[in-house]
Every structure is written in structure tokens, then in C-alpha cells.
Structure 1
Amino acid sequence: MKKILVLNLGSTSSKIAVFTEYDMKFEDVIRHDIEQTNLPLNDQVDFRLESIKNALNLHHISLHAIDAIACRGGVLKPIEGGTYIINKKMYNDLKTFKYGFHASNLSGVIGYEIAKELNIESYIVDPVVVDELMPEARLTGIKGLERRSIFHALNQKSVAKEFAKSVNRKYEDINVIVAHLGGGITVGAHRKGRVIEVNDGLLGEGPLSPERAGSIPNDVLITWLIENEFTVHEAMNELSKHAGLMSYFGTNNCLEIEKLMENGDQKAQLVLDTMCYQVAKYIGACAASLEGDVDQIILTGGLSYSKYLINKVKQYVSWIQNVTIYAGEKEMHALNTGVMDLLYGKISTKSYE
């Protein structure tokens, strides 16, 4: 019976779990003090590693009982989806933040260091930089500028595979549209196991979300940037953390905004309806990318618990295909499955080069 340690580190917390085979034995969310999380990311390795070991001790789990480590993939160069062994090159790219700064990089850094200590292997599964875009989806209207594929690859692919299994088919044999509705929103066209079209969910485009601005007309955006005299860093911070619902209401909590709507706040209803409308537009665009050959539309992520939001999106897109809901996200399970399937020979290891 194989045991997997799963690491999913974020900006303010460290999620860990241990699985025996495909069953989760425990999950813990370790909250860190703001003084700690304000430190440079590489300076956070020691205290996060210690907190992980302490949590395992509390649950009476010996590191020496672990067969492999599954880590949330960080910001790396664009790669295909799949399960990758963390080699020295990947470790260096994560630790030096070569392709971008994000706390998720620490998952692979710490996982690699623990694995080396135990003489086992560590892996990442479907990181946010999964890039399977078709060529037509990559180019823009300016030579030399290309669209990026940054999205909720882990959860999108996980629920697409879950749907395929529910209808006795393989992920590689179906065409589905997956909308991950969370703090950021990404909508992907999955064609035969590859995400050929998806909006850049971090900064570039897409529906407005609880925290993101989404797509904005070029002239309006440029004027706004100039008038506010933002630095590049400040502008990115505004567009990715303080826009969307945060900009309108000062909160990213959809439940609070739904309560405003239920109490007759017309602005709250308009903004929520606009978000749903924009999600639906991107689902429609993905249907075009799949040339109308759509087996299912899937809605997932934390916002998919909201009946109001789900019904509003369905109102726009149900004519395309039936809609399945996988509320929330199961990233820890998806990470474990990606590694466990590899250990049992169901899939092959991919190499980061």
C-alpha cells in the first residue's frame, strides 16, 4: 500500500495531505503569520518545512513511510499537461523564480528537498503553466506578442477526467468546455485531452472575477494606467488582486454580494449578472474553438456552489450542451491521483528539459 505526501503551498498557508493509495488519510491547512509570509519567498522555506514536519508528527505519520511526494506545480516555462518528476533543472527554475514569483513554487522546492533526504522521488502535476494552445489561439494583433496559457490546469483537467469516467469514456476521447469559477476565472476548450484554448486567468484576459479585471478595451485600459501613474508592478497588482468584485464592492466574497442583491441592491445584481454573462461569452467562444463538437460543459470552482450564479450561466449556455457541476475543487486528490497513477503504470512520467 503506497503512501503519498501532497504539498500545495499558497501565499498565506500550506496545505498538506497524506494518501494511502487513492484514499486521503488526513488533510491539514497550516496558516502562517503575516510576519512570516511577508518574508522573501526563499526565506520562507525553513519555517514552512518545519511546520509540515510538525503537522505530520501530530498525525503520527513518519516521513520514512512516504513513497513519493506530489507537489503543486509552480510558475515554470510552458509545458504540456501531465505528471513530471522534479529534476534538478526544475528545482533550480522554481527556487530562482526564473519564470515568475509565486508561493506555489515553494511546493516543489520543499518537496524536492524532502524527497532527496528520503531517497524517494517528488513530482508536480498539471501546473498553472500547462500550454497546449492551438497555433491560432496563440497569436495576437501585434507581431512578437503572444497569448499565454496560465489557468487552473490541475482542477480543470481533473474534473474533465472525472466527467469522462462517469460516462465510461477516456479524457483523450472527449471534447468538453470547463469553466473554473474562483478568485480568478478560466474557461478552457478541452479537445481530446488537450486544452487548445483558454483565457489567461492571471492578468491578461477573460471574464471579470472576484479579484481580476478580465478583458478591458485597450484605449480605456491605457488611459486608466496613465491617469493613475501606475508602475508595472502596481498595475499588475491592481488588475489581479483589487479588480473585479473587489473593485466594485471592496470584497471578493460572492456570498456578501449576493446578500446585497437579495436585499434589493440593483448594482450588486448587475455586476454579478455581468460576471455570469462574461463567463457565458467565453464558453461560447470555446464552443467555436471546438467547432461545435461539445460533449459537455462543466462548471467547477468555489463559485459553483452558488445556485444563482450557476443558473444564470446555464441560462446562456444550455443550448450548446448539457451542463455538469463539480462544485469546489479537489486539487489535493488530483495531485495524488497524478502521482499514484504514475506509480502503478497507468501513465508515463514526463521530463522537464
Structure 2
Amino acid sequence: MILVLNSGSSSVKFRVVDVADPSAGQRGTVERIGEPGGVPDHAAALEEILGGLDTSGIDAVGHRVVHGGSRFTEPALVDDAMLSVLHELTPLAPLHNPGGIAGIEAARAALPGVPHVAVFDTAFHATLPAAARTYALDRDLTARFGIRRYGFHGTSCDIVSRRTAELLGRPLAELNMIVLHLGNGASATAIRGGASVETSMGLTPLEGLVMGTRSGDVDPAVLSYLHRAAGLSSAAAEEQLQRHGGLKGLSGANDMRTVLSRRAAGDPDASLAFDVYCHRIRKYVGAYHAVLGRLDAIVFTAGVGEHAAPVRAAALEGLSSWGITVDADRNAAHASVISPDDARVTVCVVPTDEELAIAEQVHARLGP
């Protein structure tokens, strides 16, 4: 059995996975770490989690780590040296990696007798070609500080692309697809033959699509303008993009369900937030269609992608001349395939399962 931990700054999600029978096993979340009414730290969260588990059956622990930089392009065994490198990578993902590291450290202390393996969101995108991963900045500067496009949601893209191939009954190696991972964080990824060739998130998970609280793409000069015009420090300006932008900045709500409810009630801010959100997705679909040349499938996944039918319809509206259409009845029913049978591009809704994907990678890394 593999214990999978997804440790954030204020929560730890866990799942016990039997790779041979993924439907079995306990799962849950400890929330409000370090907040009033919650546990004080990640060590206490792990103690609470392990108190409800039979740890004698745990053979390994898999950890989700958001950013592996250029150093980690495949699952890695955790030891002191590896953790030291992870600490060095913290500036690349200051909102995500610290929680992951804290979870690893707490889990190693609580379960010292089993191997711990880190699985990186960025690893799937190690196949990005140079033209897609390179920013047009001074090459000495980018080399010195590791500035490049890394991409995220790779664990989700991996399992979703494989599941899509199974759904369509076609070899993954033959498929060109766009995976739209739409949750509180959101990304688009162009996948050719199972390999990532373009993705919307960049150096950090801030770039790309509109998200719950993150702005996605903006003119980089916005930051310096806010410094000059509004007197904001660089940290305060970035905070606006990271925590006060996206759906929250546009409508006051970061949850798409709330946005949809307010939009249906005629709220103009919610309507604009919805329109901006879907417009950005449509723009990326068009760009990635061009990157791939031939497009076989568009895949919606994660919380918004799997459950928000209005988003799926609006995001692909007006693309019928490209062979991309959504059947209204199938979409409303949240069918696995929501395009008409004769559509040139198959539009799918495929649930993600990042915990299972992590467990599979841990199992493959450690061997039978």
C-alpha cells in the first residue's frame, strides 16, 4: 500500500492506494493547519492522519511536489541531500513548495522505516521543446537563475491523457490532444503522442489561464506600473496577481459555482468574469490547435472542467468551422464524450486522479 500525501500551506490531503485495486483505501483531508481551530503544524496533521490508519500496511509514501525545477524530471527518492535541493527551489514556487517540503519532513519523521518518493508536477513537461520553454530574455540571466517555462499540473495531464486514449480506444502515441485542467488553478496543455509540447503555466503557476485567485496572463509591466502609480511594493503587486486576481478579482468570488449562480441572477461582474475566463480558454485552444497541427481531442478535467457545463460550452463556442462542437444534451448530462458522433475533434470530460497517478509513479520508481 502506498500513502499519497498532497501537502499545501494550510492543508494535507491523503489517500492510501493499492495500485492493484485503486478503488480501495482510505482518504481524507486535514485543513486549517496553523489557523485558529486547526492543528498547529504539518507534524500534527500527519499525527492526526496516521492515528486513523493501519501503518503496518504502508510500504511507501508518495509526495506531490509542485516545482522540481530543472533538477527533477522524474520521481525522486527523498533523502537529506534531495530535501536540501528542494529548499533551494522554493523561490520558484513560494506559494506551493514550502507546504510540500513541510509535509515531507513531517512524514519522514513519522514514518522513518519506509521509502519516501517525491513526484513533481513539472516533470511531465520536461519534454517541452526549446522554442516552447524559452523566454525571450537575456540568455545569461535566464541561465543563471533558471528562468524558463516549466509547466504544472503534469501529474494530472499524465493520467488524463492515458485515460482519454483508453476512452477513445486509440493508442496514446497516435493522439494529439489539448488537456484543459480547470480547477482553482487552471492550465491548458498540448500533448502530442503522450508528450507535452506546450503548456500555459510558465516559470510559476501564475501564467496562462484565468484562475480562482490568480490572474493568469498579464502585461509584465503591470507590476512596475502598480509600483509607480499605486505605490505598491513588488511583493504587494505580486500579491494582487496571485491572491486577489482571477475570478475573485473580477467578481469577488473565486469559486466558479458562485460565479455561475450570480451570473444566472444577472450579476454583471460575474458575467464579465465568466466571459473573460472562457475567452482565455478559447484563445489557448486556438493557439494549441496551431501548435499541434492536427487535433484529435479536447479534454476537460478537474473540478470546473468536470462539473461546469456552461464553461465547457462557452469555452468552445464558435469553433465549429475547426470541427470543434459541443452537443448541448451530452454536455448537460456530463457525458464522457460531449461532442456529436460525427465531430472531427472529440470533446471529452475525463476525471483526473492525481493521487492514483502519484501512487503509480511511486510503484514504478521503487519496483515490485
TM-score range, shorter chain: 0.7 to 0.9
For residues 252 and 133 of structure 1, the distance between their equivalents in structure 2, rounded to whole angstroms, comes to 30
What's the C-alpha RMSD, in Å, of the aligned pairs? 2.8
Deviation at 1:17, TM superposition (A): 1.4
CA distance in 2, matches of 1:9, 1:51: 14
Residues 119, 358 of structure 2: 8 Å contact kept: yes
Q: Which residue identity lines up with residue 106 of structure 1 in the other structure?
A: A
Quote how far apart the aligned CAs of 1:114 are. Answer: 4.8
Any idea what the Cα deviations from partners look like across 1:130-167, whole Å, max 9, x if unmatched? 43321111233332355422321111221111112233
Which residue pairs with 1:214 in the alignment? Answer: 216
Match of 1:49 among 46, 50, 71: 46
Q: Report whether the alignment pairs 1:22 with 2:21.
A: yes
In structure 2, what is the equivalent of residue 248 of structure 1? 250
Q: Residue 163 of structure 2 aligns with which residue?
A: 162
| C-alpha distance 89-98 of structure 1, shift in aligned 2 (>3 A) | farther
Structure-1 separation of matches of 2:37 and 2:361: 29
Once the two structures are superposed, residues 70-119 of structure 1 have per-residue CA deviations (whole angstroms, 9 ceiling, x without a partner) of 1112433235754333244322223565554331233433444455x21x
Shift of 1:341: 4.3
CA contact (8 A) 2:69 2:122 kept: no
* CA–CA separation in structure 1 for the residues paired with 2:82 and 2:221: 39
Cα distance in 1, alignment partners of residues 179 and 66 from structure 2 = 21
Which letter does structure 1 place at the counterpart of 2:276?
T
Q: TM-score, normalised by structure 2?
A: 0.80
Q: Closer, same or farther in 2 for the Cα pair 1:175/1:344, shift >3 Å?
A: farther
Name the structure 2 match of 1:349.
Answer: none
Other-structure match for 2:192: 191
Corresponding residue of 2:333: none
| Offset, 1:5 | 1.0
After superposition, what is the alpha-carbon deviation per residue over 1:49-85, rounded to whole angstroms, capped at 9, x for unaligned? Answer: 32232232xxxx1x23211111112433235754333
Aligned residue number for residue 153 of structure 1: 154
* Rounded Cα–Cα distance in structure 1 between residues aligned with 2:162 and 2:187: 17
Closer, same or farther: CA 151–127 of 1 in aligned 2, 3 Å: closer
SS in 2 for 1:212: coil
For 1:4-19, what aligned pairs fall within 5 Å after superposition? 4-19=2-17
Match of 2:78 in 1: 86
Within-5 A mapping of 1:1-353: 3-20=1-18, 21-23=20-22, 24-35=24-35, 44-56=41-53, 61=54, 63-78=55-70, 82-95=74-87, 98-99=90-91, 100-101=93-94, 102=96, 103-114=99-110, 117-118=112-113, 120-128=114-122, 130-144=125-139, 145=142, 146-200=147-201, 202=204, 204-290=206-292, 292-304=293-305, 305-317=307-319, 319-320=323-324, 321-327=345-351, 329-342=352-365
Q: Secondary structure at the match of 2:350?
A: strand
Q: Say whether the 8 Å CA contact 2:33–2:41 is kept in structure 1.
A: no
Report the Cα offset of residue 241 of structure 1: 1.4
- Change in Cα spacing, 1:86 to 1:122, as seen in structure 2 (3 Å) is same
206-215 vs 99-108, which deviates more?
99-108
CA deviation profile, 1:230-281 (whole Å, cap 9, x unmatched): 2232222221111011112222011122112111223322320221111111
Q: Give the total of aligned pairs.
A: 331
TM-score by length of 1: 0.83
Residue segments in structure 2 that go unaligned for 5+ positions in a row: 325-344
Whole-angstrom distance in 2 between the partners of 1:4 and 1:97: 26
CA contact (8 A) 1:70 1:125 kept: yes
Q: From the superposition, tell whether residues 76 and 44 of structure 1 become closer, same or farther in structure 2 (CA, over 3 Å).
A: farther
Residues 5 and 66 in structure 1, CA contact (< 8 A), matched pair in contact too = yes
CA spacing shift, 1:267–1:251, aligned 2, 3 Å? closer
Contact 2:75 2:365 in 1 (8 A): yes
Amino acid corresponding to residue 254 of structure 1 in structure 2 = M
- For residue 300 of structure 1, report the CA deviation from its aligned partner: 1.0
Structure 1: unaligned runs, 5 residues or longer: 346-353
